[in-house]
A and B are shown apart, each in its own frame.
Chain A
Amino acid sequence: MELYTDTYYIQRVLSGDTACFACLLDKYSTQVFSLIFRVVRNREDAEELSQDVFVKAFRSLQAFKGDCSFSTWIYRIAYNTAVSHTRKIRYEFLAIEDNQLSNVSEEEVSEMLGQVQNDEQIERLERALDAIPADERAIVLLFYMQEKSVDEVSVITGLTPSNVKTKLHRTRKKLFLLLKEMED
């Protein structure tokens, strides 16, 4: 059980108790770092970007109105920071045609992904994730790794909920195709 809520810590920080920010940092640093690390695929960059995220959050804490949870708000900063970093770096991604995706059924995807269990298969999944664009990877990671709801992902990414659902659906199929290609 939580002793104090995020709102309590935010109020304390805003009233001048800067040290209280460490409580928010302890609570969210691991999750923010893991999301950024998986999106940018580089430990040093992830560390630097995570620091930037928390400093940005501290700087604009006054602008946090509480329309969404602090967790969603900080994920939004993390998502924007990580995705804009990957845009600057210009990674190359595998282009998958739309007709290739439409030929894949959801059952096939679920069956294939349900089989991924051992270390080798997990490594393949990691490589497949690395091959898709950063924004799609971030959405999948937010939904499955950080266990955010479609609505929360929508607030974090600025996309509509139906757009998030479509992206998730397409990314699952892309992962399936990439995993299948690696198996073959």
Chain B
Amino acid sequence: MNTTSNKKEIMEGLFKQLDKGSLPPAFRTNVMNQVFAEAERAGKKKERIGLAAVSAASLLLIGLAVFAFIYTDTLLPKITIPEQPLTVFYLFITILVAILLLADYKFRVFFKRKYQKSETE
């Protein structure tokens, strides 16, 4: 009489003889191509989710800021700029632009001379 393990051995021996089919040569490449495509899709999805989260957080912060700016006085510090005549401001800007243009011109002349000197040497 056969024992349980003998029966299993007989059956295993039998099933080992069955045609198991062979994998096509391109199987590995096909699967890995699909896997890489899937990984790329997952990466893009993750990126989109991250972007959406950042956008949502930014919008929330902007909303909060607008809310605080409009409806609350206590949250925001008050900045006061002393009033000055507008002509003083324009004069300051003109002088600043003139100084910067002069400096630019002088530097250009200086570096041009320096470059020509080094080339002749």
Of the candidates A29, A58, A141, the one whose C-beta lies within 8 Å of that of B15 is A141
* Contact between B32 and A22, CB atoms less than 8 A apart: yes
Q: How many residues of B contact A (CB 8 A)?
A: 29
Q: List chain B residues, Cβ under 8 A from A126.
A: 18-19
Minimum distance in angstroms from B30 CB to a CB of chain A:
6
Q: List chain A residues, Cβ under 8 A from B20.
A: 30, 33-34, 37-38, 145
* Contact between A58 and B30, CB atoms less than 8 A apart: no
* Contact between B34 and A55, CB atoms less than 8 A apart: yes
A-B contact count (CB 8 A): 89
Interface size class of A (residues with CB under 8 A): 35 or more
Alpha-carbon separation in the docked complex, A50 to B20 (Å): 13
* Contact between A144 and B34, CB atoms less than 8 A apart: no
Q: Is B2 located at the chain interface by the 8 A CB criterion?
A: yes
**1/0 per position for B30-44, CB-CB distance to A under 8 A?**
111011101100100
Q: Is B24 located at the chain interface by the 8 A CB criterion?
A: yes
Q: List chain A residues, Cβ under 8 A from B14.
A: 113, 116, 122, 125, 144
Q: List chain A residues, Cβ under 8 A from B19.
A: 126
Q: List chain B residues, Cβ under 8 A from A26.
A: 28
What are some 7 contacts across the A-B interface (CB < 8 A)? A33-B27, A34-B21, A46-B21, A47-B27, A58-B38, A106-B7, A110-B10
Binding site for B on A (CB under 8 A): 18-19, 21-22, 25-26, 29-30, 33-34, 37-38, 43, 46-47, 50-51, 54-55, 58-59, 106-107, 110, 113-114, 116, 122, 125-126, 129, 140-141, 144-145, 147, 172
Give 16 new A-B contacts, CB below 8 A, not counting A26-B28, A59-B38, A107-B2: A33-B21, A33-B23, A38-B21, A50-B27, A50-B31, A51-B30, A54-B35, A55-B38, A58-B35, A110-B2, A110-B7, A113-B14, A144-B15, A145-B12, A145-B20, A172-B11
